[in-house]
Amino acid sequence: MRNDRVHYDQVIVGAGISGLTLAHHLADVLAPEQRILLLDKDDDPDYNISFWLDGEAPFAPIMAGSWRRIELRHGQRRTVCPLERYALHAFWRDDFDAYLHAELGAHPNVDLLEAEVLAVEDHGDHAEIETREGRVHADWVFDSRSSLDGIRDADPDLLLMQGLALEIEAETACFDPELATLFDFLLDSPQFDFMYLLPYTERRALVNAAFVTPFATRVSREHCAEVIDRYLADRFGCSRYRVTRQSFGRLPLASRFPERRPGSRVLPIGVRSGMIKASTSYAFTRILADSRRIAASMAKTGQPYYRARTAWYYRAADRRSARIFQRSPALAQELMFGMFTPERGDLALAFLDERNDLAENRRLFEAVPPETLKRFLRQLLGLGGGAPVASERTA
C-alpha cells in the first residue's frame, strides 16, 4: 500500500466486535462494486461475550449456548424467570473473529488489512486515514479505536468492570443446562459485584466473576479464581472441575463519549461511540442494532446516519444509575433483583435494553418493593438516599 493513494468507499478502523459486525451488515446490503476495507493493528485477546436478544441470534454457528430460563439470586432469595420474547446467548471472541474473517474473506469487495492506524482526518466530503503502511482515501470512515486516554478526566466517577470467565468441565453433573444464572449478587463484597453461570450441559458451564469497582481499584485474577472456586462449591456442589477455556479482562464503564456529528465523514462506532451501557456493562446488543441501522441507512440514503429511537430519559437515567451503583451497591442489587419476577423476565430485559415505553416501565416497577423504588428514585433525582433498605450493608 505504501506510496499509493488507495481509495475505498467504506473504511472500518478496528476489526473487533463492532468493526466486524458492521462489515458483515455493510457487505450484506451494499452493491458489490462498493469497496470495504477493514484495518486492524493486531490480534485481540480471547474473551467471552454474553447478551440477550429478542429474535433470532446472529452468527448462530459460533454461539456456545442459548437459554430461555434465567434465574437471579440474592443471598438465599431466588427468582426464576421463563422467557418468551428474549433469549440469553454467549460466544467467545476468538470464535467470532475466525467466523467473520472467513465470511468476509468470501466477499470480493471486502479487504482485511493488518495496519496500525495513526490518524483519521475528516475533510468534509471525504476522509483520509494515515496508517503505518500508507494513506487511504475513503468516502466514509467508521472508527472503533478505543483508548483509556482522557476517559478518566472526562468522567471522574468512572467505574471499571473487571472479572474472570472460566469455561469448566465438572467431574459430576452439577448444572441444569436449561437454566442460566444471570445475576447472583455477591452480598459480602463492597461493590455491585456478581457471578453469572451459563450451563452448556450438566457438566460443562461458563462461570464468570464480575467486579464493578472505582477506576483505580484492581482486582487480581487470583482473587477472581478463588471467588469462582468457592462459588461453584457452595452454590452448585461442584468442587472438582477442569478449566477448558478462560479469559480475564477489564472494561471501563464509560458513558460519556463524543457524540456523532451529522455531516461528518468519520463516525465513531462500538465502545468508542459509547455503546457500553454503564449500568450493566453490556454492549453487544447495542453494537448489533447500531450496525444494522448504519448499514440499512447506507443502503437507503447513501448516508450512515439514522434516527435514534431510544427515549431520552434512558440515557440520562443510565449515567446516574451507574453512579448510584457505585455509591449504594446494596440498593442497586435490591432494585435489580426486585425487577425480575417470574412474570416479568422479558419486561425487565427489555427495560435494560431501553426498549420499554413508560406504561411498560410502570408495570415493571410495580413489582419492586416500594421502599427500594422510592429510595432509588430519590437518589436518581438527586434528592438524597431516603431510608436504607433492609439488606443495606455497612461496608
The two beta strands, 110-114 and 65-67, are unpaired
Residues that bind ligand FAD (CB under 6 A): 13-19, 39-42, 44, 47, 49-51, 116-117, 144-146, 249, 251, 270-271, 276, 282-284
Give the other-Cβ count within 10 Å of 216's Cβ: 8
Q: How far is the CB of 356 from ligand FAD (least distance, A)?
A: 19
The x, y and z cell numbers of residue 76, run together, are 438465599
Q: Which is nearer to ligand FAD, 100 or 170 (CB)?
A: 100
Helix (DSSP H) and strand (DSSP E) numbers for the chain:
10, 17
Q: Which is nearer to ligand FAD, 129 or 324 (CB)?
A: 129
Q: How far is the CB of 51 from ligand FAD (least distance, A)?
A: 5
Q: Please state, in angstroms and rounded to a whole number, the distance separating the CA atoms of residues 247 and 207.
A: 11
**Which residue has its beta carbon closest to ligand FAD?**
16
Grid look-up 463519549 returns 257
Q: Which is nearer to ligand FAD, 58 or 341 (CB)?
A: 58
Q: Which is nearer to ligand FAD, 19 or 329 (CB)?
A: 19
Q: Which is nearer to ligand FAD, 15 or 389 (CB)?
A: 15
SS3 content of the chain, % helix, strand, coil (to 5): 30, 30, 40
For 57-93, b/e burial (b = at least 16 CB within 10 A) is bbbeebbbbebbebbbbbeeeebebebeebbbbbbbb
Q: How far is the CB of 110 from ligand FAD (least distance, A)?
A: 16
Nearest Cα neighbor of 297 from 286, 312, 308, 310 is 308
Backbone angles phi, psi at 369, to 5 degrees: -50, 130
Rg (CA), the chain: 22
Q: How far is the CB of 145 from ligand FAD (least distance, A)?
A: 4
Q: How far is the CB of 142 from ligand FAD (least distance, A)?
A: 10
Q: How far is the CB of 19 from ligand FAD (least distance, A)?
A: 5
Q: Which is nearer to ligand FAD, 71 or 290 (CB)?
A: 290
Q: How far is the CB of 80 from ligand FAD (least distance, A)?
A: 21
- Terminal alpha carbon distance of the chain: 57
Q: Which is nearer to ligand FAD, 185 or 365 (CB)?
A: 185
Backbone angles phi, psi at 100, to 5 degrees: -75, -30
- Residues in the chain, total: 395
